[in-house]
Amino acid sequence: MDLGTLIGIVVGNALILSAMLMGGTMDMFIDVAGLMIVFGGAVSACLMAFPMKEVIAAFKAAMFCMTADKMEPNAMVQTMCDLCTVTRKSGLVALSKMKFEEDFLRKAANLIADGTKEDVIRDSLTIEIDAMKARHAVIQDVFAKLAAYCPAFGMIGTLIGLVQMLANLSDPAAVGPAMAVALLTTMYGAMFANMLWNPIGAKLASRTATEVINLEITFEGACAILAEGNPMTVYEKLSSYIPAKSRVGLTKTKK
């Protein structure tokens, strides 16, 4: 589980709940009609803006916010250097007998094992990276739209509440509930946007940036293995993707 995400969820919600309880009870801040307007309206608008399969894919991707990164860039550099060591000792064909969890790494290894020319590898893996960026951009846009829709529907709820309040000024008992809907929907819109959708979108963007770095390390590593065949040279080239203070030295592969 990603510790930063967990801390953000717990601390953020704890502070908001504490502020609510300091001024009254939780019942004051619960309004089913307001939640229906804000959450239901935003999701409905999103379904109109995007194909349903993209919206479903976006919510599935949101689950990755609670998981750790698949592979840290230093680990990917080490992996590519290990592959270089294997090809240096056993030849390029040895990579075809190895098993890989990552599809992109498997494809790169197979291209190397087949003795594919560097320009063909470069074109093939570049297309993969660009396609991945495009897919992730759509998912992030879904959450960006949700973050924009929620405050808008919160304002719609506020207007509904104000209309109800003004239409029942002769009945003092109806003014309070109508005013509550008016104010709570605005609060719900701000909370959904800034405590849920925007953070999820930002987290996914961060994950995409890390994944792109890993893919580019794999991509350049594959080309370097064909061109150089020296693990240390490959390491020096690939480690340039990582900030100097965060780099981990090359570990020799055990025999």
What DSSP letter does each residue of 104-168 carry, written as one string?
HHHHHHHHHHTT--HHHHHHHHHHHHHHHHHHHHHHHHHHHHHHHHHHHHHHHHHHHHHHHHHHT
**What average pLDDT does this structure show over 58-66?**
82
Distance of CA 145 to the CA centre of its chain: 15
Q: What's the pLDDT at 55?
A: 94
Instruction: Give the pLDDT confidence score for residue 255 in this predicted structure.
Output: 46
Query: Residue 64: phi, psi to the nearest 5?
Result: -70, -15
> Domain extents for the chain?
32-246
74's CB contacts (< 8 A; 6+ apart) are 242, 246, 247, 248
Number of Cβ within a 10 Å radius of residue 216: 17
Q: Where are the alpha helices (DSSP H) in the chain?
A: 3-22, 32-35, 41-49, 52-62, 73-90, 103-113, 118-167, 172-192, 198-227, 231-238
Q: Which of 86, 85, 82 is nearest to 97 (CA)?
A: 86
Query: Quick check: 252 pLDDT over 90?
Result: no
pLDDT at 254 over 60: no
pTM over 0.95: no
Q: 147 versus 163: which is more confidently predicted?
A: 147
**Contact between 209 and 152 (Cβ < 8 Å):** no
Would you say 234 and 225 are in contact if contact means Cβ atoms under 8 Å apart?
Answer: yes
Q: Is the dihedral of CA 5, 56, 140, 197 positive or negative?
A: negative
Q: How confident is the model at residue 139 (pLDDT cuts 50, 70, 90)?
A: very high
Measured CA angle at 6 (ends 59, 27), to 5 deg:
80
Query: pLDDT tens for residues 163-218?
Result: 878 887 777 777 777 777 788 899 999 999 998 999 999 989 988 888 899 999 99
Query: Is it the case that residue 69 has pLDDT exceeding 70?
Result: no
The greatest distance separating any two alpha carbons of the chain, rounded to the nearest whole angstrom, comes to: 89
What's the average model confidence in pLDDT over 60-85? 82
pLDDT per position as a tens digit, 85-128: 888 888 888 888 888 888 888 888 888 888 788 888 888 888 98
- Whether pLDDT at 33 is above 90: no
**How many whole angstroms separate alpha carbon 38 and alpha carbon 159?**
13
How far from the centroid of its chain's Cα atoms is residue 196's Cα? 12
> Is pLDDT of 31 > 60?
yes
CB under 8 A, 24+ apart: contacts of 70-75: 70/102, 70/211, 70/214, 71/102, 71/214, 73/210, 73/213, 73/214, 73/217, 73/241, 73/242, 74/242, 74/246, 74/247, 74/248
**Helix 103-113 × helix 73-90 angle, to 10°:** 20
